[in-house]
Chains A and B, each alone.
Chain A
Amino acid sequence: MTIELRTERPSPDRLVLHLHGRLDANTYLEFDGAALPLLTELPHGATVVLDMAGLEYISSAGLRSVARIRKATRTLGGHTLLLDPQPQVRKVFDIVKAVPVSEVFTGTSELDAYLDRIQKKIIDEADGGK
């Protein structure tokens, strides 16, 4: 079993990474190699969404990969959001309290609502700035 990564770019400041398979000590290097270069292209304040619906398994090595993505996004001033983690994966995240609960979403609509709120906030800030 390996890891498969499919990327989607719905907007310039949003990157969606669809994960499939397992993210463990055997695959995290492959994942890191594929995902991290994509982050460098992102603009400031971009949002990275990790779609975990297809991720069957994650180990501590995988957690560390997620941590690296979150760190990279944070340096860009953006967010890393988790979408639809399977129960087993969710359990691992819960045990190590890997990400704030507010940044884990189930279902795209919930995510979209959240993203819209952020978008609006940014625009308001921009308007306020003018």
Chain B
Amino acid sequence: MRGLRSIASRLALWSLLGSALVLTVVGLLLLGHLRQTWLRSAHREGGTLALAAAHGIEAHLARAGEVTRLLARLARTRSDPTAQLASDALKANPDLAGILFAWTPDDPTHPPVAPFVDRQPNGTLTRRDLSHDGTRYWEQPWFRSGLDCTDGCWQKPFFSQSRQERLINYSVAIRSAGRSIGIVNADVTLAWLQSVLGSLKRPDGAVMFVVDHEGHFLAHDGTARLGLVATPELRQALAMAGDAPGELRAGIDPSVSGRAWIYHAPVAGTGWTLGLLVPQAQLESSLRRLFMRELSLGLLAMLGIAVITLVVTRRTLSPLATLTGRAEHVARGELDFTLPRIRRRDEIGRLTHAFDRMRRQLAHHLEQLTRATREQERLRSELEIAHQIQVALLPSEHYLDARCAMFELHATLRPARAVGGDLYSYFMLDQRHFCLMVGDVSDKGIPAALFMARAITLAKALAPRARHPALLLDQLNRELCQGNESCMFITLLCGVLDTSDGRLVLASAGHEPPILYQGGTGRLVEVTTGPAIGLDEDAGYVEQELTMEAGDTLLMYTDGITEAGAPDGSMFGIERTLASLERAPPPTAPGEFTARLMADVDAFAEGCDQTDDITILALSWHHRSREEAGMLDLTLKTTLEDVFAALERCESVLDDAGVAVGIREDVRLVLEELMVNMVQHGHENPADGSIRLHLRTNEGAVLAELHDDGMAFDPLQASVPALSGDVADAEEVGGLGIHLVRAMASELTYHHDRDGNHLQLRFIQPDQTESPT
């Protein structure tokens, strides 16, 4: 629970606020309705009270009237002992204050006795005769009007001098022979009426009063107003017909403050009206009290509801809070925690269940991801190692012919992925021939890399025996066709360079034609190409020869160059390749060729991923003058004369070159032995053959090459003669010459091809290899 941020608190708060609003609105409506009902019932009660009060007064007055009327009937004659009658009646009726019998005098000078029995305040009765008090009562209005009251009627109130209080009397005419001969007057004090009024029930704060038909107050809860005349508004309100209550404005009646409601009822038989004034404030105060009670009850209920809502919500949502905490755990990557127990299959239960499943799934996925990442990492490191191995398969990028500095080579290979299917390779086939190749395996990636490894290893193994590019391609093709179920193939451009004269023999297996860069311009060398290697076992390849001149550079490349794509979809193409090479300043070293071409391709393909492996190989031929190239280059017939003439030439040339005598003699001996051997054993018909002799020096060493077209003979394979220590021991002396050759030449290489035997010899000054003793 985190204050107002928790859903439970907010739910409780909002439901509290909402129910408070509803309660307020309903309460206001209820108040209005209640007020109406309350007023109606108050009015009804007021009316009833007024009526009851009027009836109460009537009952009291009716008794007085009854007595009076009885007295009137009893007093038909003037002679009747009316005085005694009056006294008895007074004694029997404590309500009455006095009784008067008055007669219409036949002779005004001798009025009959008019007894008046009066009840003194102390309760004693006094008797008087009004006929002789000089007031001439028969002329008084009360008497005259009383004569008309045959059934009795209430006179106006008057102030009694004798009693010093206000009275009203009930007059009943005494009838005799169809005319009124006198009246009976029963006095009632207003104090009595007041006491009657006071005994009546009324609401608290209400004011009750009685007015006569002229508007005089006969009785009033506020005694000070007795006898006064009611205000016209009050009288008007009283005069309103019916039982309907009237509403009085504030100030109309001084006995009540503020607005008030007036209820009235006629007091039957009197012409009087009973009024009941109920102040509005008093009405409403009770209403307000009631309403406040209801309101506080409502508030209490609301509070209870809020508390219940809070408790229920918190209890219901408590698993949600736990889930929220757990979700924060998940966000931190901690997946090992306990979830609240599922109590019901409601939304919370389903959420918890789903949460649990989500956690398990997440953990599972995380584990899988970790495993996949590890696997990927392993694959990546394997690829890295594969890359290193593949790089190790390639010879170094730069090669400078250290022995004779006749040529220089620079190659660049950049796979599109970690490993690729492009290859280049170069190696010396023998002292004189340099083999180089550039190839491109179909497809990319690991399969191509494996095929490339197979191809480059095979090529290197086959090349020394094949010696000729076409033959090499042929043998390579046959080897790679075997078991090539996946139909992978490789395009290969292979060349063999004769390092002695720059002759380059090329053969192509479906590869891009090389570029020969000569004197600042490049041109494509159209090589007749056979099918790609690995597809057709019976494919044949043809050779083509070109001679490189000083300063020439031959570029071999793969389609990664020409098919390098720009973002707009165009390809680098051969024109751009040629233009790149021909741009000033002209490149000189082979490294500059490859670097420039690579840079141009990169600039062209800016923003595009490299899609194919790229390989460039540049071979530059450095010219060397004839004198440097070889001191001697002879072609001779296989006769001893020619051989010895050549040997003489050799000797003199070596002498001129300042070669030490020891070496000179060795060279001569070796050459003689070899050439004489060729003359004597090489041919069926000795004079048919020819021998080519090439002699040069390099860094103090003497290099000699012998080529002959005779029968194959490898001096290295010849058996060592039995050396007993005495040449005379052997029956037939042989093999000594070859033994001498092997002993004297510092290096000897031999190969045989369809041109015949090829021997390369190297003689080193003794002081260069051995320390002088």
Tell me if B668 and A57 are in contact (CB < 8 A): yes
A18 interface residue (CB < 8 Å to B): no
Within 8 A of A (CB), among B313-358: none
Tell me if B740 and A96 are in contact (CB < 8 A): yes
Q: Please measure, in the bound complex, the distance between the C-alpha atom of A126 and the C-alpha atom of B12, giving whole angstroms.
A: 152
Q: Taking CB as reference atom, which chain B residue is nearest A89?
A: B665
Tell me if B728 and A67 are in contact (CB < 8 A): yes
A26 interface residue (CB < 8 Å to B): yes
Within 8 A of A (CB), among B729-744: 730, 733, 736-737, 739-740, 743-744
B-binding segment of A97-105, A107-115, A117-125: A97-105
B366 interface residue (CB < 8 Å to A): no
Q: Please measure, in the bound complex, the distance between the C-alpha atom of A92 and the C-alpha atom of B723, giving whole angstroms.
A: 13
Tell me if B733 and A97 are in contact (CB < 8 A): no
Q: How large is the interface on B (under 10, 10 to 19, 20 to 34, 35 or more residues)?
A: 20 to 34
Min CB distance B31 to A, Å, is 143
Tell me if A99 and B640 are in contact (CB < 8 A): no
Tell me if B736 and A96 are in contact (CB < 8 A): yes
Tell me if A92 and B740 are in contact (CB < 8 A): yes
B651-673 vs A: 1/0 string, CB under 8 Å? Answer: 00000000001100100110011
Provide the residues of chain A in CB contact with B743, threshold 8 Å: 95
Tell me if A97 and B676 are in contact (CB < 8 A): no
Min CB distance A97 to B, Å, is 5
Q: Taking CB as reference atom, which chain B residue is nearest A74?
A: B728
Q: Taking CB as reference atom, which chain A residue is nearest B670?
A: A59
B80 interface residue (CB < 8 Å to A): no
Q: Taking CB as reference atom, which chain A residue is nearest B738?
A: A60
Partner pick for A97 among B661, B669, B673, B724, CB 8 A cutoff? B724
A46 interface residue (CB < 8 Å to B): no
Tell me if A98 and B727 are in contact (CB < 8 A): yes
Q: Taking CB as reference atom, which chain A residue is nearest B669?
A: A59
Please report whether the interface of chain A is mostly helix, strand, loop or mixed according to DSSP.
helix
Q: Taking CB as reference atom, which chain B residue is nearest A58?
A: B669
Min CB distance B765 to A, Å, is 15
Tell me if B727 and A70 are in contact (CB < 8 A): yes
A71 interface residue (CB < 8 Å to B): yes
Q: Please measure, in the bound complex, the distance between the C-alpha atom of A96 and the C-alpha atom of B691, giving whole angstroms.
A: 27
A24 interface residue (CB < 8 Å to B): yes
A54-90 vs B: 1/0 string, CB under 8 Å? Answer: 0001011101101100110010000010000001100
Provide the residues of chain A in CB contact with B728, threshold 8 Å: 67, 70-71, 74, 80
Min CB distance A77 to B, Å, is 14
Tell me if B723 and A96 are in contact (CB < 8 A): yes
B713 interface residue (CB < 8 Å to A): no
Min CB distance B299 to A, Å, is 133
Q: Please measure, in the bound complex, the distance between the C-alpha atom of A26 and the C-alpha atom of B733, giving whole angstroms.
A: 18
Q: Please measure, in the bound complex, the distance between the C-alpha atom of A78 and the C-alpha atom of B237, giving whole angstroms.
A: 195
Tell me if B726 and A100 are in contact (CB < 8 A): yes
Q: How large is the interface on A (under 10, 10 to 19, 20 to 34, 35 or more residues)?
A: 20 to 34
Q: Taking CB as reference atom, which chain A residue is nearest B731?
A: A71
Q: Please measure, in the bound complex, the distance between the C-alpha atom of A99 and the C-alpha atom of B676, giving whole angstroms.
A: 24
Partner pick for A57 among B665, B730, B737, B744, CB 8 A cutoff? B665
Within 8 A of A (CB), among B118-173: none
Provide the residues of chain B in CB contact with A71, threshold 8 Å: 728
B725 interface residue (CB < 8 Å to A): yes
Tell me if A88 and B662 are in contact (CB < 8 A): yes
B399 interface residue (CB < 8 Å to A): no
Tell me if B665 and A60 are in contact (CB < 8 A): no
Q: Please measure, in the bound complex, the distance between the C-alpha atom of A45 and the C-alpha atom of B215, giving whole angstroms.
A: 209
Among B643, B673, B726, max chain A CB count under 10 A is at: B726
Q: Please measure, in the bound complex, the distance between the C-alpha atom of A66 and the C-alpha atom of B728, giving whole angstroms.
A: 8
Tell me if B733 and A59 are in contact (CB < 8 A): no
Tell me if A25 and B672 are in contact (CB < 8 A): yes
B684-721 vs A: 1/0 string, CB under 8 Å? Answer: 00000000000000000000000000000000000001
Q: Please measure, in the bound complex, the distance between the C-alpha atom of A38 and the C-alpha atom of B739, giving whole angstroms.
A: 31
B644 interface residue (CB < 8 Å to A): yes
Min CB distance B655 to A, Å, is 13
Q: Taking CB as reference atom, which chain B residue is nearest A69?
A: B728
Q: Please measure, in the bound complex, the distance between the C-alpha atom of A66 and the C-alpha atom of B726, giving whole angstroms.
A: 10
Q: Taking CB as reference atom, which chain B residue is nearest A73?
A: B728
Provide the residues of chain B in CB contact with A70, threshold 8 Å: 726-728
Tell me if B733 and A63 are in contact (CB < 8 A): yes
Q: Please measure, in the bound complex, the distance between the C-alpha atom of A66 and the C-alpha atom of B733, giving whole angstroms.
A: 11
Partner pick for B733 among A67, A88, A100, CB 8 A cutoff? A67
Provide the residues of chain B in CB contact with A64, threshold 8 Å: 727, 733, 736
Tell me if A59 and B727 are in contact (CB < 8 A): no
Provide the residues of chain B in CB contact with A80, threshold 8 Å: 728
Tell me if B673 and A60 are in contact (CB < 8 A): yes
Within 8 A of B (CB), among A1-43: 24-26
Provide the residues of chain A in CB contact with B672, threshold 8 Å: 24-25, 59
Tell me if A26 and B640 are in contact (CB < 8 A): yes
Tell me if B673 and A59 are in contact (CB < 8 A): yes
Tell me if A26 and B644 are in contact (CB < 8 A): yes
Provide the residues of chain A in CB contact with B669, threshold 8 Å: 57, 59, 92
Min CB distance B746 to A, Å, is 14
Provide the residues of chain A in CB contact with B723, threshold 8 Å: 96-97
Tell me if A95 and B676 are in contact (CB < 8 A): no
Known: A26-B640, A64-B736, A97-B726. 17 other contacts (CB 8 A): A25-B643, A25-B676, A59-B669, A59-B672, A59-B673, A59-B676, A59-B737, A60-B737, A63-B727, A67-B727, A67-B733, A70-B727, A71-B728, A87-B662, A88-B662, A92-B669, A97-B724
Q: Interface of A with B (CB < 8 Å)? A: 24-26, 57, 59-61, 63-64, 66-67, 70-71, 74, 80, 87-88, 92, 95-100
User: Could you list 25 A-B pairs, sorted by A, with CB under 8 Å?
Assistant: A25-B640, A25-B644, A26-B644, A57-B669, A59-B740, A63-B727, A63-B736, A64-B727, A64-B736, A67-B727, A67-B728, A67-B730, A71-B728, A87-B662, A88-B661, A88-B662, A92-B740, A95-B744, A96-B727, A96-B736, A96-B739, A96-B740, A98-B726, A99-B726, A100-B726
The 9 closest A-B pairs by CB, nearest first: A60-B737, A70-B728, A67-B727, A60-B736, A98-B727, A25-B676, A88-B665, A97-B723, A97-B725
